Amino acid sequence: MIARLRDQGIQDEAVLAAMYEVPRHLFVDEALASRAYDDVSLPINYEQTISRPYIVARMVEALRGFSDMKRVFEVGTGCGYQAAVLAHVFPEVCTVERIEPLYERARKLLSDLGIRNAELRHADGSNGLPDKAPFDGIILAAAAPVMSRTLREQLAIGGRMVLPMGTQEQWLYLIEREASGFRESRLEPVKFVPLLMGKA
């Protein structure tokens, strides 16, 4: 998988090391474990998916931007795989999941793996985490129809946000916050589940 990620253009060694360290097969159903390292997204129940390895690596690499970030916020913990990768790259990770069974499963998995620098919450991620803001980085694992002003305002000056946006046609975006405002870059087409509001 790591060799394939390199071939696909992932260059950040910290991200590649994290992808190597996190046992992806533990985050999918046992029946799908043999496909865990294939470059495909897989179902994790509740109409949610675990993103394919390339997309996880691409988003985390874009988020980091080869810079030293301390605190990052993930919207959409899902099965916890991306949170585990983030916890290997950044000192402090805050992650929220709106679907309670997924939250409980991810919390147990990350605890079993000895990951102590990720704080998980069962919450509506569209509100962000005001009590923990500002964040050096924000990453969304679901597609928003438009840019969330709430999340954007929780980004620190110099911070970066990576998210899929769109409904029918989705693109991955990088948002950078500068003292003078926000800079937006469109990276590549993607396919994500939609960002939903409220807890479930």
For the chain, the domains span 2-190
Catalytic residue among 51, 111, 180, 185: 51
User: pLDDT in tens for each of the 200 residues of the chain?
Assistant: 999 999 999 999 999 999 999 999 999 999 999 999 999 999 998 888 999 999 999 999 999 997 889 999 999 999 999 999 999 999 999 999 999 999 999 999 999 999 999 999 999 988 899 999 999 999 999 898 888 889 999 999 999 999 999 988 999 999 999 999 999 999 999 999 888 776 76
Would residue 111 show up in a list of annotated catalytic residues for this protein? Answer: no
- Other beta carbons within 10 angstroms of residue 57's beta carbon come to 27
Nearest to 22 by CA among 57, 62, 61: 57
Pick the CATH number of 2-190 from 3.30.70.1150, 3.40.50.1950, 3.40.190.10, 3.40.50.150: 3.40.50.150
Q: Residue 200's pLDDT is what? A: 64
Q: 190 by DSSP, 3-state: which? A: strand
Tokens representing 176 are: 């950078």
Backbone angles phi and psi of 168, in degrees to 5? -70, -50
What kind and span of H or E run contains 5?
Answer: helix 2-7
Name 135's bridge partners: 155
Q: Residue 95's pLDDT is what? A: 98
Q: Cβ(76)–Cβ(125) under 8 Å?
A: yes
Q: Cβ(188)–Cβ(166) under 8 Å?
A: no
